[in-house]
Amino acid sequence: MQDFDVIVIGGGNAGLCAALSAREQGARVALLERAPEEQRGGNSAHTGGAFRVAYRGVDDLRRLMPDLLDSEIESSDFGSYTQDDFYGELAAQSQYRADPEVLDTVVSESLDTLGWMTRQGVRFMPIYGRQAFKVDGKYKFWGGLTVEVSGGGLGLVEALMRRAERSGVELHYACRAQKIGRADGRWQIECANGQRFSAAGLILATGGFHANLEWRAKYLGPGWDLAKVRGSRFNTGDGIRMAMDVGAVAHGNWSGCHAVFYDVNAPELGDLDLLNMQKNYFHLGVVVNADGKRFVDEGLDFRNYTYSGMGAKVLQQPGGVAWQLFDQHSEHLLPDEYRVRHATRIQADTLEELAGKLEGVNVNALLDTLSEYNAAVRREVPFNPAVRDGRSTQGLAIPKSNWANPLERGPFVAYAVTCGITFTFGGLKVNSGAQVIDEDGQVIPGLYAAGELVGNLYYVKYAGGAGLTSGSVLGRIAGAAAASQQQ
């Protein structure tokens, strides 16, 4: 039995923030990571590294990006994203089911937590490539996202792991926790490799169950076992199961998840050597299924607020596939995820030629769909990708509410997509102190949770960048609280 003050199970962003926070309080900390070292980092390593944070203006952003140049400030319209903005958007995305106290904590602590992360060695920078368009000579940020980590998700994990190693956190790779229990005021952890640990404080940060085929089919429903896994293959619900075995209450939307448009030829499981397989700029184009029909309002809102529901929609289409179509009005606005060498991209000089190249598509129906769409575009409304521009269609059964450009300027391109699941919404219930709640509504002593296994934040939709932020905030809180258990 190896004894510590605090044990953290899970080595993604939330778990690493928890471990570092506990270590700051002087606790002896061990982090148990199920994955081997070369695949460490959980879902965090698979992300683009964007963080949603409340800020009042450029002075707040300078706290997070101290090397921000004056020239960047002059050429950028960072605006503001207040706590009220942040809270209101996440509350609305959950249809007001999110726990208000936990949500308020995530929002109110977001700026301070990201500032703390910079002191841990994380480097933030403006998201020029994915979240800003140049309007009237200035880069205007949109959709509530302004900052990302240098190096993306991999850069985030590397920075936090480096600090963990230097600060004395004991890291155990390929160490899958299987069972937890509490005796004599201490938590005991049994791992699949035979190792056993004990600690006064235990933090679960093992992610959701998106990589568990059986649980996906059981809780998300038929067909979800066929979805590609966008993130870590090691997130199979271990932490949720172990916590429920000791009395934690199941909470949240167990039939909901974050799932996106994902390259049709992407690997079945997330691969750190093949990132950027998501295709999330559909709001600037037209999306059709194999019947040649549109099935979604591509421009309902900024993609930050709609992209997490697109995987479910494409999974319901014939063959579980779709195509995103663009012309030269918008192709130059697409980010790097569309330019990677392994993207499934089809190009043609005419729409007729493009339709003929899309395998399995009803060509005549597709051409009719595009003809009707082009005729319905309100061309008199100016196109502006940096705002909800109201450039919509008229008279279509499924409208396009913003950013509607006719597809008429060749060459034309199509990207073949399917469903890629990122994480699941259901999980454990925690309070604003990251303490796990039992079936009687009481705190389970010494047990904490952070990250994607928390079930009382995301329900219906998801706002991009909120997951990393909530994981960091609750992880930091959990680490400090768990360290206090030793005193």
Span 189-199, pLDDT tens digits:
999 999 999 99
Query: Residue 73 falls within a domain, yes or no?
Result: yes
Distances (CA, A) of 290 to 143, 205, 407, 417: 31, 40, 18, 11
43 lies in the same domain as 180: yes
Question: Which of 420, 437, 465 corresponds to the end of one domain?
Answer: 420
What's the total number of domains in the chain? 2
Question: Could you tell me the CATH number of the domain that includes residue 329?
Answer: 3.90.700.10
The position carrying tokens 């991999």 is 154
Position 204, amino acid: L
Q: Which residue has the tokens 């020029």?
A: 128
Residue 403 and residue 269 share a domain = yes
Domain annotation covers residue 222: no
In a domain, 223, yes or no: no
Give the pLDDT of residue 192: 96
My answer on whether 194 and 309 are in the same domain is no
- Supply the DSSP string of 263-300, one letter for each residue: ETTS-SS--TTS---B---GGGSEEE-TTS-B-S-TTS
Same domain, 109 and 13: yes
Same domain, 31 and 172: yes
Tell me the pLDDT of the chain (487 aa) as tens digits.
Answer: 899 999 999 999 999 999 999 999 999 999 999 999 999 999 999 999 999 999 999 999 999 999 999 889 999 999 999 999 999 999 999 999 999 999 999 999 999 999 999 999 999 999 998 888 888 888 988 888 999 999 999 999 999 999 999 999 999 999 999 999 999 999 999 999 999 999 999 999 999 999 999 999 999 999 998 899 999 999 999 999 999 999 999 999 999 999 999 999 999 999 888 888 999 999 999 999 999 999 999 999 998 899 999 999 999 999 999 999 999 999 999 998 998 888 899 999 999 999 999 999 999 999 999 999 999 999 999 999 989 999 999 999 999 999 999 999 999 999 999 999 999 999 999 999 999 999 999 999 999 999 999 999 999 989 999 999 999 999 999 999 999 986 5
Instruction: Identify the domain boundary among 420, 435, 459.
Output: 420
**Distance of alpha carbon 131 from the chain centroid:** 15
Tens digit of pLDDT for each residue in 378-426?
A: 999 999 998 999 999 999 999 999 999 999 999 999 999 999 999 999 9
Quick one: pLDDT at residue 487? 53
The C-alpha atoms of residue 3 and residue 319 are separated, in whole angstroms, by 52
Q: Are residues 185 and 38 in the same domain?
A: yes
In this structure, are 68 and 141 located in the same domain?
yes
**How far is the C-alpha of 97 from the C-alpha of 377, rounded, in Å?**
36
Same domain assignment for residues 414 and 430: no
Question: What's the pLDDT score for residue 260?
Answer: 96
Residues 85 and 15 placed together within one structural domain of the fold: yes
Residue 400 lies in a domain: yes
- For residues 168 and 272, state if they share a domain: no
Residue 199 lies in a domain: yes
Determine the pLDDT at residue 486.
67
Q: Record the tokens describing residue 404, joined without a space.
A: 């509607």
| Residue 6 covered by a domain | yes
483 in the Ramachandran plot: left (φ > 0), alpha (ψ -120 to 50) or beta? alpha
What 101-106 contacts at long range (C-beta under 8 Å, 24+ apart), as own/partner pairs, is 101/431, 101/432, 102/430, 102/431, 102/432, 102/454, 102/456, 102/457, 102/474, 103/457, 104/432, 105/432, 105/473, 105/474, 105/477, 106/457, 106/466, 106/469, 106/470, 106/473, 106/474
Whether residue 235 lies inside any domain: the answer is no
Residue 325 domain-assigned (yes or no): yes
CA 72 – CA 322 distance, rounded (Å): 38
Q: What confidence score (pLDDT) does residue 135 get?
A: 82
The CATH number that applies at residue 171 is 3.50.50.60
Residue 207's pLDDT is what? 98
Are 205 and 325 in the same domain? no
Are 74 and 191 within one domain? Answer: yes
DSSP annotation string for 20-37: HHHHHTT--EEEE-SS-G
Q: Which domain holds residue 109?
A: 2-209+425-486
Residue at which a domain ends, from 371, 395, 420? 420
